[in-house]
Structure 1
Amino acid sequence: MSETIKTIPGALRCWSASWPEYAPTDVTPAELLPAALAQQVPGWAEAAATPTDVTDWPERQARALISFQVDEHGWPMHPQGRTGRAGRNLGLWGENQAADPIVVAGYGQERRVLLITRSDIEQEAIPGGMVDAHLGETAPAALVRELQEETGVDLRDHTPVILGRDVVDDWRASDHAWVSSTSALYQLPTTVTAIGADDALDANWYEFGSIEQLTAEIEAAGRTLYAAHIPLLTRALDHLAHN
């Protein structure tokens, strides 16, 4: 999403700004188009072909991590404004809640952070994923589940520090479907064995003294740090520096 958002003039980003010629690009994948949904609904997605088919917008607004509005047609509006993208490339219309566990081991010069190689974009990122809200899952439960599924690390007996709840600059987001994440910090005395699984191609521990150090090590390994997670990792570093 970052590349597309940069094409939106700052003065026109806000929904209240008049822009009659605004024509966002539809990013809906084939399996979420109306004709495909009429035949089969993917297990990870809701059946609604458009936001008009969603009947519980007041409830979704009430439980949202980040408040959002709906327009005059009853369609949800990205809380940060226009994105340059239309349609839906996520499971739900409106907010899709995610959980991002930031696992840090060691202290000082020995501090490391656990990252995975995402299978969808093949970049180094925080292990995590979507909250299964339709199954009644909570963000704390999703933090533990996603971490174990993607790295094999089981931290169900650890209590994390919730660092924040934010709209994430996810590459799949659009004007009417986006990701809001609960990020949490887990601190361990030493590293533990981690193996990439599920949606992760790999899992590795990286030096975590600063974002610059982390980026340099990742690039030295011929890989790229997922830009959307840099603010979350920066917040974790700030917390560690002051606690």
Structure 2
Amino acid sequence: MTETPRTTGAVTPDPDGYAPVDHPGVTVPEDRRCWSVDWPQYAPVDITPPELRPTTLARHVPDWAEAAATPTDVNDWDRRRAAALAPFELDTQGGPLNPQGRTGRTGRNLGKWAENAAADPIVYANGRVLLITRDDIEVEAIPGGMVDPGETAPAALVRELREETGVDLSDHRPVILGQDLVDDWRNTDRAWVASTSALYVLPATVTAVAADDALDANWWPFGSLDELDAAITAAGRTLYAAHRPLLQRALDYLAK
């Protein structure tokens, strides 16, 4: 018997078929996550926010987003696929498919359809790591963000760090730790985040002042993820789960 997806959240879509951006989507069993597995009854929840819906985009396009209201409006899929950090396929209708498989959610709450490139600078000094408090979900996170059109990842690392903490490391050369998909809270079947993470090692901590998308900026103990978790929890805060693998990779490098 084919299982019908079950909504994991209590909130139902609005009359136009859209759910809140933080809706968890429908449950996707692990054995049906892969796109190659046939699942005719799969019905993901559309979490596209009002500012990115077709009727709104026809009147105004936010400066951080592309004008394409649907994947079929995108005309450069060959270029996007060639430049992607994580290879992805298109379905029979020409829509992008999340490389990690079904997410239970569709639409987009990101600037672009398919891959959205991000840059995450991890700054370390004397056993401490520099984190910000994100203003969108109010958790402790790496001070990173999206790569602007025409910008390189190395340039974005420097810019995001400077914009969110006031720390300018343009004269430093970081260690590139990886280029990976990120389990970002905005990801859907059709739009997702892939990040270039990099490690900056400083001889001493420097003054950091929160700005732009950051509510706060602080240096935290960083001998292990457990130590970092304990310090953040003691302060009544939470570590952004999607950044845990990136931070662990930095710890692994520092332990060499």
TM-score per shorter chain, which class? over 0.9
CA contact (8 A) 2:25 2:45 kept: no
**2:255 & 2:24 partners in 1: Cα distance?**
34
CA distance in 2, matches of 1:166, 1:2: 23
Give the aligned partner of residue 130 of structure 1. Answer: 146
Aligned to 2:189: 175
Deviations 1:85-115 (A, max 9, x none): 0101000000000000000001xxxx00000
- Higher helix content, 1 or 2: 1
Letter in 2 for 1:179: V
Inter-partner Cα distance in structure 2 for 1:149 and 1:122: 17
Q: Deviations over 1:104-142 (max 9, x none)?
A: 001xxxx00000000000000000000002xx1000000
Alignment partner for residue 67 of structure 1, among 80, 87, 91? 87
Determine if the alignment matches structure 1 residue 51 to structure 2 residue 71: yes
**1:5 Cα deviation from its structure 2 partner:** 7.6
* TM score, norm. by length of structure 2: 0.90
Retained in 2: the 8 A contact 1:2–1:169? no
The residue aligned with 1:231 is 245
Structure 1 counterpart SS, 2:58:
helix
Alignment of 1:18-57 (within 5 A): 18-57=38-77
Which runs of 5 or more residues in structure 2 are unaligned?
1-20
3-state SS, counterpart of residue 39 of structure 1: coil
1:153 aligns with 2:173: no
CA distance in 2, matches of 1:3, 1:227: 17
Please name the residue that 1:7 is paired with: 27
Which residue number in structure 1 is paired with residue 125 of structure 2? 105
CA RMSD between the two structures: 1.4
The worse-fitting range, judged by mean Cα deviation, of 17-26 and 35-44 is 17-26
TM superposition outliers: structure 1 runs of 4+ over 3 Å: 1-6
1:207 aligns with 2:221: yes
Between the two proteins, what is the percent identity of the paired residues? 70
Q: How many residues align?
A: 236
Structure of higher RCO (CA pairs closer than 8 Å, 6+ residues apart):
1
